[in-house]
Structure 1
Amino acid sequence: MDPTLAMCAALVDGAELSSFVGGQFDVGAVVAAIRPEAKDGFLLDEVPWKHFPLGYRVREAVHLLHTGGSPVGTGTGVMGCMCADDMQAAAVLAVPFLIRIAADTRHPHRADALPEVSCPARARHFGIASRGQLLLHRSEIRYDDLYDDYGVEVTGYPAGWSVAAARAAITADTALLQPLLDDPAPAIRIHAAYALATATDHEHVVRAAFRTRLAVEPDPVVRAALVLATGEATRTHPHPPTTAWIREQWHDPTQAPKVRLAAAIGWLCLTDEPTPDDLRATVDHLATDERADAMEALP
């Protein structure tokens, strides 16, 4: 039996989740213990991949990406598919390495690696219709609550542990991700914002970086991504002035339509206020099929 599945079986039999905190199956503790030298040098053998379901596949995918192998099927496709199939734990181990590939401007697969960085940092929610859940992003996961907002992965592993660990890994490497907001490629800028939106941002450092980039960003779709990223970060770390600023963006007729739509979505997710008539009118006017197609570039 897979070692982590043995842990999950023990939980089913009544073991306390807290008894595994900080141990070999706690993905947050495992990622936090990876030495900086191992991350920078891609010393993959120092990472206990085998402790997590299909970890061997994630290790091989990281190795292939790092050495320039094809990202299709054997590289980022592995991590993306595992997260889509609700198996995030092992993918979390790849996050520090994916960030370093994305930050390397000479790497041939940096554009493939970056979108995968934040996959395990978000639980997959299907059929969500609530604006309160659209940008669901809890910064703290209770170790003693197996059935929290994130529930469990298909293996039985606590999904909240994976989400929290991935966000912690991204937070630890914000200094590598922030420069990507100024990358020449719009797709890199978009996915950098999407990843940074999951970082812990008590001091508003990340959101300040979004605002700084927004002041000079020429691409309306990237501007929309920056507004949505600001909204997601603010849902985790409430800041009334930022909420008010986002409302100003969808009110502002000088803003690009894509930016106004993104601001309307972001503002709705940050407030419990009834939807105002002028917001409904704005969305009715701006939400065209053509604009929706253009915004498909947003994660």
Structure 2
Amino acid sequence: MTGAGELVFDHEQVRRNGLEPYEGTPLDVRAVIASMPQAVKDGFRLDEVPWSRFGHAYGPADDVSERLARLRSPDVTAAGNALGQLWGSLVHQGTVGSAAPLAVPFLLRVAADPTAHHRAETLGLATAAARRAHWGYGTRGTFLQVATQDLLHDCSGYAMNWSTEASRNALTADVDLLLPLLHDPDPEVRTSACYALATATGEADRISDALRARLAVEETPGGRASLVLAVAELAREHADLRAAAWARSLWLDPAQPADVRVAAALAWLCLVDDPVPDDLRGMLDALVATADPAGVLDGVRWIAHVDDAQGLARTLDQMLNDAPPGVIDQDPWG
């Protein structure tokens, strides 16, 4: 790290001495997010964000502010192109760039704007910046896992753990912006809000109460399943021991919709270490075969990240039958 006018993240120094010399400095994106003024976020004052200090998959992040500005375009095509460029650079094949957390507050404000285009996808990008990539992993230990303790690096060598932590903190700071989206007219925005809120590093009780309250009135199967899984993920991350009993009561209740019972069964399996009960296995076999919730549940974000075509089947196979996790190569000879 050089003078204040030439801040550089020295990867060789990190290799030798670890990350500690950079903690809390202007090169720690967590510290930058924590100190970002509310007026900068609310006023979309992109020129006051230190983009060039951080990077994405294709180098320095100087181009992010222009793309965020275009994301607000009234032209649906222009906004879509900007969003695609942001996805491809900030969260590149599951790798979160160090500039991604700086974009999160602005992505959330676009998603919360009812006049904006691609709101659910924009919220999805903000959330992807806050999560570990777990493509193919639907085991009881990984399905609801938000973060990882392993030290990971992005394309430039920056500590990706810091980036995802900063993004989670940015989402948490804007809980008041996210909670109303649980009641948005667009069901895709509602389910995206569930996924985002489940990543929060704080206010877990308040968020969980809001998710449970929404479950009582949510009309879409994907929305109900997302609400159940979001409550469970918060409980897993914040050691809320009450959620396992709540999930069990839902999957045991024949009056609940099939989507709620299936999601609650997955949630319960991830919250306890108990062997798989015969009644749970039988219930899942019957519901998946007869009520056919798989077509809907395959699109639920937690499940789609296990497999975007057969997510529920692969998740159940891993949870119930200890099938090996991981990404399947559909064309190993290609």
Partner residue of 1:184? 185
Which residue pairs with 2:30 in the alignment?
A: 28
User: After superposition, where does 1:156-175 map in structure 2 within 5 Å?
Assistant: 156-175=157-176
Quote how far apart the aligned CAs of 1:96 are.
0.4
* Matching residue within 74, 77, 102 for 2:82: 74
Per the alignment, residue 200 of structure 2 pairs with 199
Match of 1:255 in 2: 256
* Matched residue, 1:118: 127
The answer as to whether partners of 2:91 and 2:125 remain within 8 angstroms in 1 is no
Equivalence for 1:102: 111
Aligned-partner Cα distance in 2 for 1:36–1:58: 19
Name 1:9's counterpart in structure 2: 12
Deviations 1:25-81 (A, max 9, x none): 211111122111111111101111111123223322211112445233422442355
User: 3-state DSSP class of the match of 1:134?
Assistant: coil
What's the counterpart of residue 332 of structure 2?
Answer: none
Give SS of 2:25's match: coil
Q: Normalising to structure 2: TM-score of the pair?
A: 0.80
TM-score w.r.t. length of structure 1: 0.89
Name the structure 2 match of 1:46. 48
| Residues 203 and 265 (structure 1), Cα distance of their counterparts in 2 relative to 1, 3 Å cut | closer
CA distance in 1, matches of 2:139, 2:298: 21
Counterpart of 1:246, as a letter, is A
Q: 1:127 to 1:221 in 2, by over 3 A?
A: closer
Find 2:70's aligned residue among 33, 46, 64.
Answer: 64
3-state SS, counterpart of residue 62 of structure 2: helix
Q: Matched residue of 2:55: which SS?
A: coil
CA change 1:4–1:45 in 2 (3 A) is same
1:83 corresponds to 2:85: no
CA distance in 2, matches of 1:50, 1:234: 37
Alignment of 1:258-273 (within 5 A): 258-273=259-274
How has the CA–CA distance of structure 1 residues 271 and 149 changed in structure 2, closer, same or farther, with 3 Å as cutoff? farther
Name stretches of at least 5 consecutive residues in structure 2 with no aligned partner.
Answer: 1-5, 302-334
> Secondary structure of the equivalent of 1:184?
coil
Identity, % of aligned positions: 40
1:152 aligns with 2:153: yes
Q: 1:150 to 1:182 in 2, by over 3 A?
A: farther
Q: Which residue of 2 aligns with 1:144?
A: none
Work out whether residues 72 and 79 of structure 2, in 8 Å CA contact, stay in contact via their aligned partners in 1: no
Quote the Cα distance in structure 1 between the aligned partners of 2:213 and 2:49: 36
Can you list the C-alpha shifts for 1:237-261, whole angstroms capped at 9, x where unaligned?
A: 1222221001111111111111111
- Structure 1 counterpart of 2:316: none
Distance 1:4 1:261 in 2: 50
The structural deviation recorded for 1:290 is 4.5
Looking at structure 1, the residues matched to 256 and 113 of structure 2 have their Cα atoms a distance apart, in angstroms, of 33
- Cα distance, 1:287 vs. partner? 2.4
2:11 maps to amino acid: C
Other-structure match for 2:137:
128
Counterpart of 2:126, as a letter, is V
Change (3 A) 1:297 1:126: closer
* More divergent stretch after superposition (122-131 vs 30-39): 122-131
Question: Match for 2:297 among 292, 295, 298?
Answer: 295
CA distance 1:8–1:68, shift in 2 (3 Å): farther
